[in-house]
Structure 1
Amino acid sequence: MKPRKRHVLLLLVLMFVCTGMNEAIEPISTSIAVGMAAALTGFLARYQNILYYLHECCRPEWISFNRSGLETDLERKLFGQHIASRIILKAVTGFMNNENPKKPLVLSLHGWTGTGKNFVSQMIAENIYKEGMDSSFVHVFTSELHFPHASRIETYKTQLQQWVKGNVTNCAQSMFIFDEMDKMHPGLIDSIKPYLDYYDKLDGVSYRKAIFIFLSNAGGESITQTALDFWTAGRDREEIELKHLEVALSLSVFNNKQSGLWHTSLIDKNLVDFFVPFLPLEHKHVVLCALAEMEAKGLRRDPDVADRVARDLVYFPKPERVFSVKGCKTIDSKLDYYT
């Protein structure tokens, strides 16, 4: 077969193999159909092993969990979050190693801005999907962008159900990230409650291998207060455990009228597997963020510059300057000024 014809046929095969869609195609003549079937059969016999490497498919060649990679990323790139690191690694590892999970993995990440919630979501995606956040199986929803108008909440509910169902139908191992949950209209997220529950299938679709991650600033006050109490008592922040935060965090989120999780059945029915607290960052953590950003930019790691960048941020409480108000969020732009 000539190279050009081989490439054309390859594209036809990829259309059949990788779309994962079940809709019927337009009718074509019997002779053309038979001819295509014969050609595709012969082609697949020779090139079956390489097809799945050329275009992203919902297959192990493109979706494969890298536990050691996630563990390394959490250790080397996430600073000051010993609780979150431990929960994320165990939760994702346990779920991905389970060939027959009873329900989707549902994680709710909470804490003030700049503490690493979005960063951790990216780490999870990058260690499951070959294409990381660019994967067609990773879907990000931002409340103010995708669901801006309270008057259209019923429309949003229908759309959200369709989006989730359509993408899970296309690939069972889909990931959905909902950012700005504290700005989402209350009641909207309950529309996908059945998909997060303990059902084998709903209308012929299984959601049990999907991952749902909620990101929210809600609950940040209770997390910060606990961290401040430990600091005031002279205790090390590494002594803070999940048991010190989990109950107060879940109650705070459930009763927060400004949160998309306010009085949600997801919490009421215990469908959130883990409430993951992200602690406020101290000066030493911001320095580590600055050093890591230097390395990512290809710059020389300069502790003096990193310290100056960290000192330039706003901290609270004002007299003691313990925790960074914005965490590590503005480090990138600050480095451009100092280097």
Structure 2
Amino acid sequence: MAPVRWRSTGTWLLYLLLAVPVLHVAVCLEPISMGIAIAAASAITGYMSFPEFYCGRLVECCQVDKPLNSTALQTDLREKLFGQHLAHDIIYRALTGFMSNENPKKPLALSLHGWTGTGKNFVSKIIVENIYDLGMNSKFVHLFVSTVHFPHNSLIPLYKDQLQSWIRGNTSRCARSIFIFDEMDKLHPGLIDAIKPFLDYYDNIDGVSYRKAIFIFLSNAGGELINRQMLEFWNDGKKREDLELKDVENVLSVGLFNNNNSGFWHSGLIEKNLIDYFVPFLPLEFRHVKKCVLAELRHRGLEEDEELASRVAMEMTYSPKDTKLFSDKGCKTVSAKLSLHL
């Protein structure tokens, strides 16, 4: 997207819309009326000279150079994301580092993995809202859902062409475009490799630079690997917070590459190391589900009720059968369960 020429664009636009009609009827206006018209035109032109007014109140602008409020991001992750110390740390460091780099070598690519209800979609929403005020409603944020946008196996060549055109067109319009791919575990194998050139280390492709774009992949694939590792930690008497990224990341990437039920099966994105971070989302425990209930109460403007939160959390199903350690659905159905009690 070309930089907005605030003064020249605003001045000429207002000249066409305001100045020409005013001059045309100037002979019919009294001096006072003419002065008011000119003052109004000058005021509007002045407002358009300032990007913060134009972008904040008139239109949504591409935030390619807007600095990230790292404190706000840290607060959101700390207060809204429960039981995910690894995701919290990785997302914070990855996003702050990438957004502060004026000349990144490649786009940021995050792949979020874990059981349903552990916070993958929620974190992508937090990321987006800390970059664009309109969040998921921003015209610079693009969500692809595998079962909705790419349902037919017979149309993969067409999907590849459409996907490349969509990413090329939107990144041309805004270098800080965000692309989210949900349900990667349901994506047809091979389809995601269509975007491989855009994630690689190129200064530009046909005059378009993709280095400031952000790609986020969401998948339930790998969840069993993460849960198995977490259970081993628990059986060894280790704390949940002792689990480090190195304990999971390599196992996760290899497992995804060899999983023929994953959109990453034999993917060039993994083979060429174009995914910057594989972010594991750990299975949630009873205490985390309870926090989700309390957060939902606050969201609805209700007082926190510890007893109610415990009752709702106890109604969730947990596994394995012998320990009942992990919530099967995470916090996915908390809102619906809470509604039954209210």
TM-score (norm 1): 0.87
Deviations 1:102-156 (A, max 9, x none): 0000000000000000000000001111211111111110000000000000000
**One of 52, 55, 58 as aligned partner of 2:59:** 55
Task: Rate the CA distance shift 1:338–1:38 in 2: closer, same or farther, 3 A.
Answer: closer
In structure 2, what is the Cα distance between the partners aligned to 1:143 and 1:56? Answer: 28
Decide whether the 8 Å contact of 1:105 with 1:210 is kept in 2. yes
In structure 2, what is the Cα distance between the partners aligned to 1:64 and 1:307? Answer: 40
Shift of 1:77: 0.8
Shift of 1:336: 0.3
RMSD, aligned CA: 2.2
Shift of 1:93: 0.3
- Aligned pairs for 1:100-249 within 5 A: 100-249=103-252
Task: Rate the CA distance shift 1:336–1:46 in 2: closer, same or farther, 3 A.
Answer: closer
Q: Is residue 2:52 matched to residue 1:44?
A: no
Deviations 1:23-47 (A, max 9, x none): xxxxxxxxx9997399599763564
Shift of 1:51: 2.5
**Residue 149 of structure 2 aligns to which amino acid in structure 1?**
H
* Aligned residue in 1 for 2:256: 253
Q: In structure 1, the residue corresponding to 2:49 is in which secondary structure?
A: helix
Q: Is residue 2:298 matched to residue 1:304?
A: no
* Aligned residue in 2 for 1:69: 72
Task: Rate the CA distance shift 1:333–1:44 in 2: closer, same or farther, 3 A.
Answer: same
Identity among equivalent pairs (%): 57
Shift of 1:316: 0.3
**One of 319, 323, 328 as aligned partner of 1:320:** 323
In structure 2, what is the Cα distance between the partners aligned to 1:113 and 1:187? Answer: 24
**Structure number, greater radius of gyration:** 2
**Residue 36 of structure 1 aligns to which amino acid in structure 2?**
L
**Residue 16 of structure 2 aligns to which amino acid in structure 1?**
M
Q: In structure 1, the residue corresponding to 2:111 is in which secondary structure?
A: strand
Shift of 1:319: 2.0
Decide whether the 8 Å contact of 2:64 with 2:212 is kept in 1. no
Deviations 1:253-275 (A, max 9, x none): 11110101110000000000000
**Residue 51 of structure 1 aligns to which amino acid in structure 2?**
Y
In structure 1, what is the Cα distance between the partners aligned to 2:130 and 2:256? Answer: 29
TM-score (norm 2): 0.86
**Residue 298 of structure 1 aligns to which amino acid in structure 2?**
G
Deviations 1:54-102 (A, max 9, x none): 11011479x5422111100111111110011000000000000001000
Shift of 1:232: 1.3
In structure 2, what is the Cα distance between the partners aligned to 1:327 and 1:214? Answer: 19
Decide whether the 8 Å contact of 2:63 with 2:176 is kept in 1. no
Decide whether the 8 Å contact of 2:62 with 2:174 is kept in 1. yes
**Residue 136 of structure 1 aligns to which amino acid in structure 2?**
K
> Unaligned 5+ residue runs, structure 2?
1-5, 21-40
Decide whether the 8 Å contact of 1:280 with 1:324 is kept in 2. yes
Decide whether the 8 Å contact of 2:14 with 2:45 is kept in 1. no
* Aligned residue in 2 for 1:92: 95
In structure 2, what is the Cα distance between the partners aligned to 1:88 and 1:338? Answer: 35
**Residue 260 of structure 2 aligns to which amino acid in structure 1?**
K
* Aligned residue in 2 for 1:9: none
In structure 1, what is the Cα distance between the partners aligned to 2:15 and 2:288? Answer: 64
Decide whether the 8 Å contact of 1:184 with 1:259 is kept in 2. yes
**Residue 152 of structure 2 aligns to which amino acid in structure 1?**
H
Q: In structure 2, the residue corresponding to 1:52 is in which secondary structure?
A: helix
**Residue 138 of structure 2 aligns to which amino acid in structure 1?**
S
* Aligned residue in 1 for 2:81: 78
* Aligned residue in 1 for 2:32: none
Write out the 4+ residue segments of structure 1 that deviate beyond 6 Å after TM superposition. Answer: 32-35
In structure 2, what is the Cα distance between the partners aligned to 1:100 and 1:142? Answer: 30
Decide whether the 8 Å contact of 2:64 with 2:176 is kept in 1. no
In structure 2, what is the Cα distance between the partners aligned to 1:104 and 1:258? Answer: 26
Shift of 1:299: 1.1
